[in-house]
Chain A
Amino acid sequence: AQSVSQHNHHVILSEAASLELGCNYSYGGTVNLFWYVQYPGQHLQLLLKYFSGDPLVKGIKGFEAEFIKSKFSFNLRKPSVQWSDTAEYFCAVGTGNNRKLIWGLGTSLAVNP
């Protein structure tokens, strides 16, 4: 069965620290990859996406993610986090014709000022 694993469930960082959140998926075919973010009290919103082409994709607010096909990974990165990046981050993989997303469990990021 297709699955998505997010390695870190809770991450605590200080402002200006670098961030990398891991995401691995299990699916052998063509995948479309997403990171969604949920800020406190707000709804889920798309952070960035990968469909094809350059495996390094850039999203909003300085986030980027790299698709490494050989590792079945799509890790999220940010060189310098801010307190406002405190949120829940979800990795999702889309496969198949019905456009269904398979979701990871999420990573809770807390950034201390």
Chain B
Amino acid sequence: EAGVAQSPRYKIIEKRQSVAFWCNPISGHATLYWYQQILGQGPKLLIQFQNNGVVDDSQLPKDRFSAERLKGVDSTLKIQPAKLEDSAVYLCASSLRGGGLAAYEQYFGPGTRLTVT
């Protein structure tokens, strides 16, 4: 079974520039998550999709961050414009859909390390 794919793995940009991250979840996983992980902290949920609908985006800084999952499979997360404090690892995870407990198990990609200078 292929895992969650993310690209790029590393990105360095200057502040006020824009950046986009891509995620391809595990096949058949309807739920997709984007997390921000700052060094020394746990993952912080930015947005959760169920198929192509948003379930939770309460912690997404919507003035600069946006995310989409148009066909219910791949997803992109964009930051525009970037700030210094956006330097972090951006993690994508996916899980099965449904009301069962298996839907709690999240499978993570390798992450994208963003450095904003």
- Residues of chain A whose beta carbon lies under 8 Å from any beta carbon of chain B: 4, 9, 32, 34, 42-46, 49, 51, 90, 92, 94, 97-101, 103-106
Contacts and interface: CB of A to CB of B under 8 A. Distances in A.
B56 interface: yes
Given A99-B31, A99-B95, A100-B56, A43 B108 contact: yes
B49 to A, nearest CB: 11
B108 to A, nearest CB: 4
B109 A49 contact: no
| Chain A to chain B: the 9 pairs with minimum beta-carbon distance, closest first | A103-B42, A44-B108, A94-B104, A43-B108, A43-B110, A99-B103, A51-B101, A105-B42, A103-B43
B43 A44 contact: yes
A97 to B, nearest CB: 8
A101 B111 contact: no
Contacts of B109: 43
A43 B94 CA distance: 13
Contacts of A104: 42
B45 A100 contact: yes
B75 to A, nearest CB: 17
A46 B48 contact: no
10 contacts: A44-B93, A44-B108, A97-B99, A98-B55, A99-B31, A99-B95, A101-B104, A103-B43, A103-B44, A106-B42
B63 interface: no
Interface string B3-46: 11000000000000000000000000001000000001111110
Interface string B41-61: 111110010000001100000
